[in-house]
């Protein structure tokens, strides 16, 4: 049983901000404990891999709000990845687009990890129940850069150093991300990045002034190492470059100081130092294509990581329904296509990694 942080609030915003001394801080976990767990979750796997190892690696895939909206079912020669609708995020993702993109990213990671550890197979999306089936058989392990990058990849929500990407490097990213049904738009011209940036800022303003969006975001933030280690999901404050705080204080400060204006400034700083924006567009706007977008996304991110790049998502302009068509028109995206994801790519710092639930917690028994 975890102890609770005890908060003695005097009352009033000013008192709340100077609150450190009024808290009983008995944090049981340190950043060192947190980092040790993050490292353990990313331990290397060498052939022969167990199905549980593969599930652990698949779970390291990027996923919206780090809700990890998946369940895995293991049977002879097959691993099924099923949506966990209990972990949906209806405010930011009302049609479950991000949920299926996250499943696609996990499935692609599973497939890459299995091939590298001697269990190559194929992925198939099941329209009827939204599951992705990975059918595999024993084969020769095939070393791959993408496999080696699985444990290294992270979302880096920080300014980059602004150094440009060479055309050769961009070409390698485009090739790595090639998946049928999905295309990639790579923007490197500062004026084009700035124009998309304005759509992102407009969408962020809408989200940050929406009570349901804010409540959902706050629900998934993990303010302290303790809180993050307890749930092993959600958005850890330090992984976004924010200070860690006792959860009660974090929740209070979120309400008091996290505003559209302050967040927009953070995004402006991130965008101003971004040499490349990758926009993933699917040919059709349905679940099968969202899964494919997730596969392409993870291939892009793993290749970027293997080439020493950092990345972070700035998806606001594809999330807000009023802004998405404006962005699509700016980019010449055809009617019927869907802009799925917007990703910053560049060179930047390393931040604390985010945690994942253990394989045992996401595998269906029986």
Ligand X SMILES: Cc1cc2nc3c(=O)[nH]c(=O)nc-3n(C[C@H](O)[C@H](O)[C@H](O)COP(=O)(O)O)c2cc1C
Task: Pick the closer one to ligand X by CB: 80 or 103.
Answer: 103
Assess 237 for contact with ligand X (CB under 6 A): no
Contact 69, 133 (CB under 8 A): no
Quote the strand ranges of 41-98, DSSP E: 70-75, 78-83
Assess 289 for contact with ligand X (CB under 6 A): no
Q: Residue from 19, 58, 62, 170 that binds ligand X (CB under 6 A)?
A: 62
Question: Considering CB under 6 A, how many residues would be counted as binding ligand X?
Answer: 17
Q: Are strands 221-222 and 235-236 parallel, antiparallel or unpaired?
A: parallel
Assess 315 for contact with ligand X (CB under 6 A): yes
Assess 224 for contact with ligand X (CB under 6 A): no
Q: Residue 38: CA atoms inside 13 Å, Cβ hemisphere, count?
A: 21
Closest CA to 121 of 84, 77, 157: 77
Assess 235 for contact with ligand X (CB under 6 A): yes
- Give the largest CA-CA distance in the chain: 65
Assess 291 for contact with ligand X (CB under 6 A): no
Spatial distance between the Cα atoms of 354 and 221, rounded to a whole number of angstroms: 11
Q: For the CB of residue 129, give the shortest distance to ligand X in the complex, in Å.
A: 20
Task: Pick the closer one to ligand X by CB: 38 or 131.
Answer: 38
∠271-242-61 over CA atoms, to 5°? 70
Assess 64 for contact with ligand X (CB under 6 A): yes
Assess 110 for contact with ligand X (CB under 6 A): no
Q: In Å, how far are 151, 222, 356, 357 from 230, measured between CA atoms?
A: 21, 10, 11, 10
Assess 98 for contact with ligand X (CB under 6 A): yes
Q: Are strands 276-282 and 182-187 parallel, antiparallel or unpaired?
A: antiparallel
Candidate ranges 160-168, 199-207, 246-254, 311-319; the one touching ligand X (CB under 6 A): 311-319
Task: Pick the closer one to ligand X by CB: 100 or 136.
Answer: 100
* Touching ligand X, residues 346-365 (CB under 6 A): 354
Assess 295 for contact with ligand X (CB under 6 A): no
Q: Residue from 59, 66, 227, 282 that binds ligand X (CB under 6 A)?
A: 66
Assess 204 for contact with ligand X (CB under 6 A): no
Q: Which residue is nearest to ligand X (CB)?
A: 62
Q: For the CB of residue 17, give the shortest distance to ligand X in the complex, in Å.
A: 25
Please list the alpha-helical segments (H only) found in the chain.
13-17, 31-41, 51-58, 97-116, 145-149, 167-176, 190-208, 211-220, 225-231, 247-257, 260-272, 287-306, 316-319, 324-331, 359-362
> Which stretches of the chain bind ligand X, using CB under 6 A?
62-66, 98, 101-102, 105, 154-155, 157, 235, 312-313, 315, 354
């Amino acid at each position: 049983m975890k102890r609770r942080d005890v908060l003695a609030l005097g009352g009033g915003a000013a008192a709340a901000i100077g609150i450190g001394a009024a808290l009983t801080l008995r944090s049981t976990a340190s950043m060192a404990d947190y980092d040790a767990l993050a490292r353990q979750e990313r331990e290397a796997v060498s052939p022969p891999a167990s199905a549980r190892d593969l599930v652990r690696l698949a779970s390291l895939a990027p996923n919206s709000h780090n809700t990890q909206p998946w369940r895995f079912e293991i049977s002879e020669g097959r691993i099924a990845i099923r949506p966990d609708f209990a972990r949906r995020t209806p405010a930011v993702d009302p049609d479950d687009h991000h949920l299926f993109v996250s499943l696609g990213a996990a499935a692609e990671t599973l497939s890459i990890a299995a091939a590298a550890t001697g269990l190559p197979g194929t992925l198939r999306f099941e329209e009827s129940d939204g599951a992705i089936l990975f059918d595999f058989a024993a084969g020769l392990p095939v070393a791959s850069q993408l496999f080696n990058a699985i444990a290294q990849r992270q979302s880096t929500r920080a300014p980059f150093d602004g150094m440009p990407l060479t055309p050769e490097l961009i070409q390698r990213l485009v090739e790595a991300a090639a998946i049928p049904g999905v295309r990639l738009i790579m923007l490197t011209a500062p004026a084009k990045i700035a124009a998309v940036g304005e759509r992102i800022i407009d969408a962020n303003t809408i989200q940050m002034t929406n009570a349901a969006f804010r409540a959902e975001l706050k629900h998934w933030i993990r303010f302290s190492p303790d809180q993050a280690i307890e749930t092993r999901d959600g958005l850890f404050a330090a992984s976004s470059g924010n200070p860690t705080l006792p959860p009660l204080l974090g929740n209070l400060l979120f309400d008091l100081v996290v505003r559209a204006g302050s967040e927009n400034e953070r995004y402006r700083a991130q965008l101003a130092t971004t040499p490349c924006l990758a926009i993933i567009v699917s040919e059709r706007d349905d679940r099968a294509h969202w899964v494919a977008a997730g596969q392409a996304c993870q291939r892009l991110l793993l290749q970027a990581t293997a080439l020493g790049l950092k990345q972070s998502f700035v998806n606001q302009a594809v999330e807000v329904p009023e802004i998405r068509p404006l962005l699509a028109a700016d980019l010449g995206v055809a009617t019927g296509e869907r802009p799925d994801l917007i990703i910053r790519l560049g060179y930047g710092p390393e931040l604390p990694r985010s945690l994942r639930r253990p394989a045992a917690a996401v595998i269906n028994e029986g």
